[in-house]
A = this chain, B = another copy of it.
Amino acid sequence: MESFIFDPIEHLKKIALPDGGKIILLVLDGLGGLKIDGKTALEMANTPNMDKLARKYETGLFIPVFPGITPGSGPGHLSLFGYNSLKYDIGRGILETLGLDMEVKIGDITARGNFCTMEGDVVKDRRAGRIPTEENQKLISFISQKIQSIEDVRIILKSGKEHRFAVIFRGEGLGPATDTDPHRDGERLKTSSSSGKDGDKTASIINKFTNKVRKILADNKPANGILLRGVSLMPEIPQFPEIYKLKAGAIATYPMYRGIAKLVGMEIIPTGTTNRDVIDTLIHHFSDYDYFYVHIKKTDSYGEDGDIEKKKSVIEEIDGYIPEISSLKPDVLAITGDHSTPAKMKGHSWHPVPFLLVSNVTREGYAEAFSEKECLKGSLGIFPGIYITSLLLAHSGRLDKYGA
């Protein structure tokens, strides 16, 4: 049906050229902010390199999903990669499995799980007293040995922190089904039921799995049960490299972002754990790919912590790498975020995200620096995030003329 922003993929696919320049999309997660004591983190940061680019090249601000809608990391990144994030819904279970570095395939059913304490069918403690991670790992290992599949459906488990784990149900003909989490202590565990086409089989497997685990853990304390939430079907999603006829590589220190990139068909380029590692990986592999998605996590983490000083420091660290990135001579370099994470709000927000586009065929820069305020003066204006991909392709000579 209708979309906030029309889905351009079918149109772009027809005019995508197999050759063209190299693109780097540098994402400082949660980059946008709000002022604390008169300045945003980006305004506080001393960023001579980005400012110089902002003065010379094109700037603007993008709206990730819809005005007022605060995106999670999934929708935020889908927008960056040119997908209509209201159309392609990546569920919470899927992001959880990706965050634990599990491999998700189209048609998989995924869920977030909790170990919990039960009394009969009532969930007494949804977190089983937050059991230690080591206890969790022992339990998952034990359950994984006991239950490898139910009927023709494979069960793949992985521990998270404390009481949390993730599960993948992999088999033919699995549709969407509901959670078993009652969401409140003292209520009965829910029975999963179908919530769409082919959901009956999924619900049945989820309920059988839950009962088998309860039997296995019957004498265990305090974790003698499990509950599942964010039960999600991995939808079919058009593959980025196929749509745009390019070789796309993703460099990210956090599993969830590698996972999202993998979902859209990008190759994961192994890297280390620091920002310096990320930049070194980009430099080392620059000849191997046409398009690089480069992800910096800590801007978001410190925004979530409400620590504007540390967010500022990460921005400054990345600014220091800009000369090295520029010296690779990419045809297009974009510097932006996936959403705003104002330290003032200690969380993601809906506010438009500063965007900087460097290529030798941009309009001029009318901004005087790279900031929320200055990007407003830029020639890209305020625009939906789904425009980013076609802009990157165009500036790298990768889109043919449309019509004669």
Contact = CB atoms under 8 A, between A and B. Distances in A.
B69 A404 contact: no
Interface stretch (A197-205, A211-219, A281-289, A393-401): A393-401
A96 interface: yes
A403 B11 contact: no
A277 to B, nearest CB: 26
20 contacts: A2-B2, A6-B66, A8-B66, A11-B86, A34-B361, A34-B363, A35-B364, A69-B390, A70-B402, A71-B401, A72-B403, A72-B404, A90-B404, A92-B404, A95-B403, A95-B404, A349-B394, A351-B363, A363-B372, A366-B373
Nearest to A84: B2
A176 to B, nearest CB: 15
Instruction: Give the oligomeric copy count.
Output: 2
Interface string A379-391: 1111100010111
A35 B363 CA distance: 7
- Identify which of A69, A89, A399, A404 gathers the most chain B CB atoms within 10 Å of its CB: A404
Nearest to A98: B404
Nearest to A96: B404
A183 to B, nearest CB: 14
A349 B372 contact: no
A5 interface: yes
Given A34-B363, A345-B361, A402 B3 contact: no
B383 A376 contact: no
Interface in A201-247: 230
Contacts of A350: 394, 399
Contacts of A344: 361
Interface of A: 2-8, 11-12, 15, 34-35, 61, 65-76, 85-86, 89-92, 95-96, 230, 342, 344-345, 347-352, 361-364, 366, 372-373, 376-377, 379-383, 387, 389-395, 399-404
A363 B61 CA distance: 12
Contacts of A66: 6, 8, 11, 387, 390
Nearest to A400: B70
Contacts of A380: 382
Contacts of A404: 72-74, 90-92, 95-96, 230
A72 B401 contact: yes
Contacts of A91: 404
Contacts of A399: 68-70, 350
A376 B373 contact: no
A372 to B, nearest CB: 6
Contacts of A96: 404
A69 B372 CA distance: 27
Contacts of A373: 364, 366, 379
A129 B168 CA distance: 63
